[in-house]
Amino acid sequence: MDYIMEPTRRLPVLVEADVVVAGGGPAGFAAAVAAARRGAKTVLIEGQGFLGGMMTGGLVLTLGGYNCWIAPFERVVTGIGGEMVQRAEELGGAEDNEGFVLNSEPEVLKIVCDDMVLEAGVQLLLHSKATAPYVDGSRVRGLIVENKSGRSIVLGKVVVDATGDADIAARAGAPFEKVEGLQPMTTGFILGNVKGSSAEEVARPMPPGYTEAGVPKKRLHRARRVDVVPDADAMALAREAGEVPVYGGPWFGGLYADRIWVNAVRIFADSTDAESLTHAEVQGRRDAWALYHYLRDNVESLKESTFLMTGSIIGLRESRRITGDYRLTGDDVRREARFPDGVGLGCWWTDVHPADGRSGLHLDYIPWPYQIPYRTMLPQGVEGLLVAGRSVSADREANGSLRVAGTCIMLGEAAGTAAARAAAKDITPRQVDASQLQGALREQNVKLEPEFSSRRR
């Protein structure tokens, strides 16, 4: 590769903030709201023209991590995550229940996220990329931002990296892991004119199955759309014959009886590599189109369906995970771990999609609620920076469980609250007192301790 030297240039300081958040997905939106509500002057920088990340642009409309899958289906995500669902429900754009996912409408979530961020007083910059951290020694002191207005810098006492890919942490020199054989990406698509159940039947919560002793059965789910059921064996044969591209599930979701989200495409690529990501977007649309035709021709309720749209961002599951002061493990998930600096609860199954080109379904471990410690958000060797969302410090298995929308919102709320405390006290995030942080989170109605566990039933 050839190189040229970029001429040195003066960057305008756009704003001097207390807290700067990169990425407005579930984690970043919640981090910005939490920080601003705690009185911090907060800037949120989002690359797309809307907030919500995967849960809006990626069309992931089945919000997970809210309810434990084991009876009595304890609600573990409250705080800002609970408020978002309640506000969306009031606008007809979500449905709260005790099921293993909460269906939502991405267009309504975009509006709710806008409202919550702006009401909190956050300065919002859409269509703006945080391209690099501004680093002074080992301390991050702001972000370089590029958008239609040019290149500028946003200074901040604390920066929160909620880019999903830990872009900022990696560029600040923080250690991270990124495995060979990343979980596949998925181009989500929406089908219209579905002749399925009545709206009432579609809205019925569908918790997973249990044995009499309350032990989760390894029963397989197709989200909640019991009215859209492809013949799994026939579909597997079609795959073997090369008639359909590699697929996962397929899983279906959606609030409305006549419209469904299809989560099925599987593309093997790396979102931290621009060429690979470009290939993924193009191939993902092709595979979505091919899968649509297979489903339309072979599933009774989809015979007259129409292909309405694909997500504006391909669905991203896995890339970099930072190496933090604590690395959450699959063992922690299984032992229902508790930590002195626990900032919230995870409960989703250890959902690691196979990277070997296998089609169909997978199901791993279904946990009781476990705590996630604050230290998973502190990248080793870097100060002034918190990482929130799916790229916190965790092994693959733990990441498979904590990477869902509800849990990422909870992590974002904890990061934003800690960032505001650090900024107010002029200390680094690493110096934030965990018990005081927990006190603040409790005031915000964040659930830190589960009511139920395998030992207390």
Q: Which residues bind ligand FAD (CB under 6 A)?
A: 22-28, 45-48, 53-55, 58, 60, 62-65, 101, 129-130, 162-164, 167, 186, 188, 263, 315-317, 389-390, 403-406, 408
Instruction: Give the residue with the Cβ less far from ligand FAD, 60 or 352.
Output: 60
Nearest distance from C-beta of residue 29 to ligand FAD, angstroms: 8
Least Å distance, CB 286 to ligand FAD, is 17
Contacts 24+ apart (CB under 8 A), 122-125: 122/32, 122/33, 122/35, 122/36, 122/42, 122/43, 122/44, 123/15, 123/17, 123/41, 123/42, 123/43, 123/44, 124/24, 124/32, 124/43, 124/44, 124/46, 124/51, 125/43, 125/44, 125/45, 125/46
CB closer to ligand FAD out of 307 and 338: 307
Residue closest to ligand FAD, measured at CB: 25
- Comparing CB distances to ligand FAD, the nearer of 195 and 276 is 276
- Coil vs helix vs strand at 70: coil
Min separation Cβ 347 and ligand FAD, Å:
11
Strand positions, DSSP E, 316-407: 321-322, 342-346, 370-373, 385-387
We find the least distance from the C-beta atom of residue 280 to ligand FAD, in angstroms, to be 11
Nearer to ligand FAD, 255 or 408 (CB): 408
Beta bridge pairs of residue 16: 155
CB of 45 to ligand FAD, least distance (A): 5
d(CA 191, CA 33): 33
Residue whose CB is less far from ligand FAD, 167 or 270: 167
Q: How far is the CB of 248 from ligand FAD (least distance, A)?
A: 8
If the CB atoms of residues 195 and 289 are measured against ligand FAD, the closer one turns out to be 289
DSSP reduced 3-state for 293: helix
Task: Please name the amino acid found at residue 422.
Answer: A
Nearer to ligand FAD, 18 or 167 (CB): 167
Nearer to ligand FAD, 185 or 212 (CB): 185
Contact (CB, 8 A) for 104 and 347 = no
On the question of a cis peptide bond just before residue 26, with omega within 30 degrees of 0, the verdict is: no
Residue whose token pair is 């989809």:
302
CB of 149 to ligand FAD, least distance (A): 15
DSSP symbol at 429 = G
For tokens 């006290």, what's the residue? 425
Upper half-sphere CA count for residue 455 (Cβ side, 13 Å): 6
CA quadruple 270, 242, 236, 102: dihedral sign:
positive
Q: What is the closest distance, in whole angstroms, from the C-beta atom of residue 162 to ligand FAD in the complex?
A: 5
